[in-house]
Amino acid sequence: MRERVRLTRRALMLSGVSGGFLAAAGVRLTLDGSPACEAAVRRVLGAVSADWRGAGLVGRAYVEGEGLIDASLEHLLALMFPSSQLSDTVKLSAGDIRAMISERVRRDFSAGAVVSVDGWLLALTEARLYALAWRLGDWGRGATDA
Amino acid sequence: MIIDARTVPEGTVVETEVCIIGAGAAGITLAREFMGAGFRVALLESGGLDFDEGTQDLYVGGTAGRPYLRLNVCRLRYFGGTTNHWAGWCVPFDEADFAEREGLSYRGWPMSRSDLAPYYERALAVCQVGHTGFEPGAWGIALKDIPGPFNGPRFVTKVLQVSPPTRFGRVYGEQLRKAPRLSVYLNANVLTLDANRSGREVREVKVGTLGGNRFRVRARVFVLASGGIENARLLLLSGQGLGNAHDLVGRFFMVHLEYSGGVIAVSDPYANFDFNRTYADKPIVSYVGLSDAAMRELKLANIRLTWEYELGSVSEALAALKRLSGEGTKESDTWSDLGTVLGDLDGVSAYVFRRALFGQGVPVKALTLRCHSEQVPNPVSRIRLGSELDALGQRRVVVDWRVTGEDKRQVNAIHQLLGTEMGRAGFGRLRSALTKDETQWPSDLRGNEHHMGTTRMHRDPQFGVVDENARVHGVGNLYVAGSSVFPTSGAANPTLTIVALALRLADHIKERMA
Ligand SMILES: Cc1cc2nc3c(=O)[nH]c(=O)nc-3n(C[C@H](O)[C@H](O)[C@H](O)COP(=O)(O)OP(=O)(O)OC[C@H]3O[C@@H](n4cnc5c(N)ncnc54)[C@H](O)[C@@H]3O)c2cc1C
């Protein structure tokens, strides 16, 4: 059995959860983990989080703590980027992506769409985004190096 | 005049007009108000002018239920009472504390904050607090310096003022000694309050000293002012339980709950968090609390939130010190190393200090949250008489302090609100130390020294021991002063309200005696 992830404050802070934030970039993408899709998600994550490992840890804690039944890449992508949102992010600058995700996070908090991840109270949007970072762990490392 | 009760001959009957039992914040405030009022007053105090172990031992008691503080440590039994070591934090109860709230049982005072406002103003002077403003603005904390979500509408920044702290015995003792028609009896332990046959009037109190002599004091009016626990103990020790027709005496025992609330990871580590702090240059503490509207609309209990900066751990500081004294340190490391060291040396490092030393400031890693929250009134939480006897042959008190699922639900709801509000405002993220489990609390939970509720105030005798004038229901000439009359506990330190209520009671008694 896998050990339960315990989130340190450091992981959380590095992930960018508590800081300025998130969001995404152009072309109509299929949410299937294809290279083009990967690249777009990487951009979103890169705009939002300074630390892929931290983000991935938060994401994993969320998936495991909540016991998400469907934590597949496709499902997470669909939840995170309904309709053509991921495609739209391609046209946006990193700053705009951050602003977009920040706004989504703010709206989540206002609407009470929150989730407790190892005790941290997070907006659903950020928890899902970090779950994506975890799912896309390999890309994540790539992005930090970039 | 000051009289040592040990010198009063056995069997004496002292005749007076108003008899006050206990010379702490409440009793001394009342006695001062009666100076020059034209009637005779006897102030009976268990202790002497100084601490005495034998007298203090009369405060030993037991605990049942949840572990609670040692009863002979969390209060003091000599002239001046527990103000001989109080910290002096003064703040009125919030408006919402006084209000009845639909869906919340046992809430509501038979008065509003504005009814009490003139007494609060006078109470500030008694507690030697010179400034009447409790608004942050009155102390130079501008609204623009308070970030969301702590500038409303749910959470607001509040201020409490710090008394020197007034040691009531030392500060007012001389005045009382000189006052005509006022006699202070030291070493005078009231043992029981004895009612007439109908039980509707107190006729006299029996007094005993550790020297062994016994005497009685007769008066027209009696005021019990012996502290939040002892007031109930004395009523229970009197006859079948004076004022206890509805089995309420000793019930509803409340304190403030203190615990670590968790950690806040902040969005901007260079921000100024000093709107919530203690000050070296001003006699105030600023803190975060719920707005009156939030408490009313969301039916939430009251809370005080304070925090401390966390800049680095001890081990990080030591490592940093080593690095600083070594060679080859990168400049960027130096900044953060200094920050770590400073954080550990100072504990709480103010923003100005951080900036003065480091230009752009030392980043704050996190804020650790301290909570001081209201307990929900609960009849099962109580004090009662135990089987052990003290040196005067009186049954010792047992505190059966309870913390309920409702208390936990309340703080959980407040923490959830705090977390979402901080996220919404972009302040940061909260890792609450509270779990959903209604029986589980942070391991450092403690009930503090503020003893409230054991002779609660309510217009209806079925819900209160004393009426809106603090007169014991069903007993025409007996009043109670002190935090035992508080029907709810709010999050405010109690003494300013104790003094305000004592001033109000003094006015009432003066009118009655006229
Ligand atoms: C460490 C500590 C810090 C505190 N800090 C604060 C603070 O910062 N702010 C705040 O608001 N509150 C604070 N408090 C609480 C504050 O001290 C009390 O609220 C206040 O003293 C209560 O006043 P009182 O007159 O009701 O009772 P007391 O001050 O306790 O006085 C009761 C008096 O009655 C006498 N007595 C008792 N039994 C008898 C008897 N049978 N016969 C005759 N006399 C009797 C006692 O000897 C005593 O002198 C603190 C308490 C403690 C322990």
> Do the Cβ atoms of B365 and A13 come within 8 Å?
yes
Cβ contacts of A109 on chain B, cutoff 8 Å: 420-421, 423-424
Q: Give the pLDDT confidence score for residue B92 in this predicted structure.
A: 98
For residue B53, what are its two tokens? 């172990």
> Do the Cβ atoms of A106 and B268 come within 8 Å?
no
Instruction: Give the gap in angstroms from C-alpha A28 to the nearest C-alpha of chain B.
Output: 31
pLDDT in tens, chain A (146 residues): 344 455 555 555 545 544 333 233 334 566 676 787 888 888 888 888 777 777 788 888 888 887 777 878 888 888 888 767 777 787 888 888 888 888 999 999 999 999 998 888 999 999 998 888 888 874 334 333 33
Q: Among positive and negative, which fits the CA dihedral B402, B404, B408, B410?
A: negative
Look at strands B366-373 and B257-266 and give their pairing.
antiparallel
Low-confidence ranges of chain B (pLDDT < 70): 310-364
Which of B53, B78, B86 is the best mutation target for the ligand 1 pocket, counting ligand atoms within 8 Å of the beta carbon and taking the most?
B86
Nearest CA in chain B to A8: B431
Instruction: Kindly report, residue by residue over B127-158, the tens digit of the pLDDT.
Output: 999 887 999 999 999 999 899 999 999 999 99
As to burial, measured by CB atoms within 10 angstroms (0-12 exposed, 13-18 middle, 19+ buried), residue B478 is buried
Q: Give the pLDDT confidence score for residue A133 in this predicted structure.
A: 85
Q: Give the pLDDT confidence score for residue B333 in this predicted structure.
A: 52
Distance B230 CA to ligand 1 centre (A): 10
> Do the Cβ atoms of B266 and A119 come within 8 Å?
no
Q: Give the pLDDT confidence score for residue A36 in this predicted structure.
A: 79
Cβ contacts of A116 on chain B, cutoff 8 Å: 432
Q: Which of B71, B95, B24, B68 is nearest to B492 (CA)?
A: B95
Q: Which residue segments constitute the domains of chain B, with CATH numbers given?
A: 2-128+165-255+380-399+453-513 (3.50.50.60), 313-362 (no CATH)
Nearest CA in chain A to B432: A119
Instruction: Give the gap in angstroms from C-alpha B160 to the nearest C-alpha of chain A.
Output: 29
Cβ contacts of A9 on chain B, cutoff 8 Å: 263, 265, 365-366, 431
**Which residues of chain A have a Cβ shorter than 8 Å from any chain B Cβ?**
9, 12-13, 17-20, 102, 105-106, 108-110, 112, 114, 116, 118-123
H helical segments located in B4-43: 25-34
C-alpha angle with apex B181: B177 to B183, nearest 5 degrees? Answer: 50
Cβ contacts of B364 on chain A, cutoff 8 Å: none
Q: Which amino acid is at B57?
A: D
Which of B267, B430, B432 comes nearest A19 by C-beta? B267
Tell me, what DSSP letter sits at residue A114?
E
Give the SS3 label for residue A27. coil
Q: Give the pLDDT confidence score for residue A15 in this predicted structure.
A: 53
Residue carrying the six token digits 């969390």: B74
